[in-house]
Each structure stands twice: as C-alpha cells, then as structure tokens.
Structure 1
Amino acid sequence: MAEDRPQIYLITPPAFDAEEFAPRLAGVLDAHEVACIRLALASRDEFEIGRAADALREVAHARDVALVIETHLGLVERHGLDGVHFTDGPRQIRAARKELGQEAIVGSFCGASRHDGMSSGEAGADYVCFGPVGETSLGTGPRAERDLFEWWSEVIEVPVVAEGALTEALIADFAPVTDWFALGEEIWREDDPAAALGRYVKAMG
C-alpha cells in the first residue's frame, strides 16, 4: 500500500534566514522521504535568493532530494539547482525547457484550470500543480476540486500535484487521485515540522 502513496513535495516559507532554516529542513528530510523541494522566496533580492539556494542545495543534494526554484530561471544553472517551477501556467515552459535541457525539472502551477494544465503538459512540463485544494483567504482563484484531480489521473500521464491549504482530511480524500502533495506553511508554522509532516503522511492511509 505504501508504494501507492503520493510523494511529498516541500515548499519553503516565503521568507526565512538561510542559516536557521537549513537545519530545520535537514531535520524534516532525515525524518521523511521527500521527492522534491521548491525554493519559493518572495524576495526580489538576487543575493538573498542565491544565498538561500546554495544553503538548501547542500542540504537537499546530500540526501538525494531535488531542489527547484520558483520563477527565477536564470538562477538554476548558476546555483546548481535541479530545475524551475512557474506560477503562471504554460507560458514559460517551452523556453525553460529549451534553456535548461531535457534533464532539468520544469513544473507549472495552473490554479484550477484544466486547459492550462493540459497546455503545460503539452509544452513539456514534468508535473502540473493544481490548487488551492483547501479553503484559503489568499488569492482570488477558485479551489481545485477533487473531480479535476480524478479526471487528470485517469486521462493525463503527466504527474499531478495537489497544493494549497491542505488538511489531514483533505489529504486522506485526495490521496487516491494525486501523485504528489505539496506542503509548505502547513508544516513550517509548527514548532516541530517533521512531526507535522508525519501526521500528513499518516493521513494518506
């Protein structure tokens, strides 16, 4: 049964001190199997982002975990990262694939848009994220409902990721119809993020 479980995809907080966050991340990776990490800083400071990328790359690659960066395509090769994640659907996928090559990871967040998801897959995305799955006051987009994931899993071969305002109940409900769960603030806001992630993993059944 465990082999059929969705994989875990971690999203960093939007702001953190690299020296403080790196050991927290290491603790989570040592406690649980994680497929990928997304560096998702809100900062526009290239030095700050680069410093964080270098610190997290050391932690991730020492444990054979892939590290992708949100939006900043130009920093992928400079900092030895594994790929890029875009938040605007399919628009930049082809250009990123051309620049980074076939081995790099290129991912796409598509809100609740079936069309954007399909376009991203056709453009060469390695995975497509839909969300938010849960109730959130952030953003204005519609929730990504279970039937979207169910349809995708039956029809499309590109892996699908569920993210946004996840709860243990939602994880239990969506586990049969998604390939990965992307968890960020759900665990980082806790004093013990590794224990928090453990509860979500257990909820998969």
Structure 2
Amino acid sequence: MRMIDDPLGPLDPEFAAAFTRDLNRPPCQLYLISPLDVSGTFPDRLARALDAGPVAAFQFRVKDVNQHEAAALAEPLQRICADREVAFIVNDSISLAKRLGADGVHLGQEDGDPREARAVLGPEVQIGVTCHDSRHLAMEAGEAGADYVAFGSFYPTTTKEVKHHPEPVILSWWSTVFELPCVAIGGITPANAPPLVAAGADFLAVSHAVWGGDEAAAVRAFQEVLR
C-alpha cells in the first residue's frame, strides 16, 4: 500500500508502534452496508443478519434508480432496522434521507457538504463523510459538523472502485487526537479486521463479507473479533 497522500504529510511509523487503543472509547461496532441489489428476498436477509448479533448501523446504498424507486426499496429495510434499534443511514442522498426520515446520511466528497445536510436534516440526524486516506479531509469534515468520518479502502474490495489505500495508523492518529468516531471501510473480513480494531477504529463498515455468503454466520464471526 502507498503512504497516505495528505497535505499534512505522511504519518510517522513510530506513532503506530507506540499507540495503544484507548480503552475509554466505546468498543468497536459493526456497520453494515447494503449490496446494490436490495430487492427480492433481501429484507429477509437483512433481518437475519441483524438478529445474528449486535449491529450499530445499516447503510442503504443503491445506484442508478430514481428516488421514488429507492424510497420503495428502502421502506421495508428501514422498518426492519427500526424494529431492532439499528440506525438507518442513507448513502449519498440528502434529499432521500429527508424523504425517508432516516437516522442519518453518509456523504462522499462529491455528495454535498455536512453543513448543507445539517440544515436540511436537522440537529439529530447522523452525518458521516468519506475521507479516503486524508487527515485534512477528515478534519474539514469534523469542522463542518460531521458526526463521524470514514477512512478507506484498507484492503482490496470488489464493492466499488477505489483509489485510496490508507494504512491503519491513520485510525490510530485520529482516535488519539479526536473524540469524533472513525469508521474503517474497504475489503474488511473477520480475518483481516483485528489490526483495524487494534488501531482504533470505532466502527467496521462491511458489505461483501456479509452479503457474499451466509449473512448470519458472517455477523457472528465479526462479533467474535469485536469481543
């Protein structure tokens, strides 16, 4: 993996060696991201996954459908999450999050400003921002009012095309300097998750590792790591 491409410069490797996860932070939690196809039996799969172990949040991520279609697909999934007290986060679209009354919205760098999202969605909605491998972008997001920042992709992934590959030390730096939660994303499996948890991730965002097979077994496997 390449070094972090950041206006602040690369992080000192010795920092990672000296870092110990702050045990005063809440334990790392699981954050599920939907596959692009959430039709058919997917609502049943989501219920099965959420019933298999603690999940903090579910991100609704669909592409190339209009907002009316997206809302129709989202509504049963939102009910499943609400029944289990799992936060329902909409990917990319502030307007869809507003329409659904979602618990939050996750914004890429091209999807709008957290300030705009806050003005539209109100003070209680959770706002997350993709920050790739950039400490600078993460600090900007925090200053703009984001509730969490997401770094990645930490590992190779087939879920989306990625150009940014941070080292786990960025999680260490962030969680040492800031209280704002950080999310690790990108190719995370139960086998490769431990270094990210140890580095300081507050959440593991996962998709294919859960939906690519037996979702309940995958959630249970992640819970073993998170314990």
Q: TM-score, normalised by structure 1?
A: 0.91
Contact in 2 for aligned 1:127/1:161 (Cα 8 Å): yes
Q: 1:133 aligns with which of 134, 138, 154?
A: 154
Query: Structure 1 residue 167 and structure 2 residue 173: aligned?
Result: no
Query: Structure 1 residue 16 and structure 2 residue 72: aligned?
Result: no
Alignment correspondent of 1:153: 175
Structure 1 runs (4+) greater than 3 angstroms displaced = none
Question: Secondary structure at the residue paired with 2:138?
Answer: helix
* Alignment-mate amino acid for residue 37 of structure 2: A
Identity of aligned residues (%): 34
Whole-Å separation in 1 of the counterparts to 2:71 and 2:187: 28
Contact in 1 for aligned 2:34/2:61 (Cα 8 Å): yes
Q: 2:134 aligns with which of 113, 117, 120?
A: 113
Q: 1:81 aligns with which of 93, 102, 106?
A: 102
Query: Structure 1 residue 71 and structure 2 residue 71: aligned?
Result: no
* Alignment-mate amino acid for residue 185 of structure 1: H
**Offset of 1:189 from its aligned partner?**
0.7
Contact in 2 for aligned 1:112/1:143 (Cα 8 Å): yes
Q: 1:51 aligns with which of 72, 77, 89?
A: 72
Whole-Å separation in 2 of the counterparts to 1:63 and 1:204: 19
**Structure 2 gap segments, 5+ residues each:** 1-22
CA RMSD of aligned residues (A): 1.9
Whole-Å separation in 1 of the counterparts to 2:153 and 2:192: 11
Query: Structure 1 residue 39 and structure 2 residue 60: aligned?
Result: yes
1:78-127 Cα offsets, whole Å, 9 max, x none, are: 22211211011795111101111110111111111111111001100011
**Structure 1 gap segments, 5+ residues each:** none
Q: Which has the higher contact order (CA 8 A, sep 6+)?
A: 2
CA distance 1:152–1:58, change in 2 (3 Å)? same
Contact in 2 for aligned 1:90/1:123 (Cα 8 Å): no
Alignment correspondent of 1:104: 125
Alignment correspondent of 1:198: 220
Whole-Å separation in 2 of the counterparts to 1:24 and 1:89: 31
Q: TM-score, normalised by structure 2?
A: 0.83
**Offset of 1:38 from its aligned partner?**
0.5
Whole-Å separation in 2 of the counterparts to 1:47 and 1:91: 20
**Offset of 1:44 from its aligned partner?**
2.9
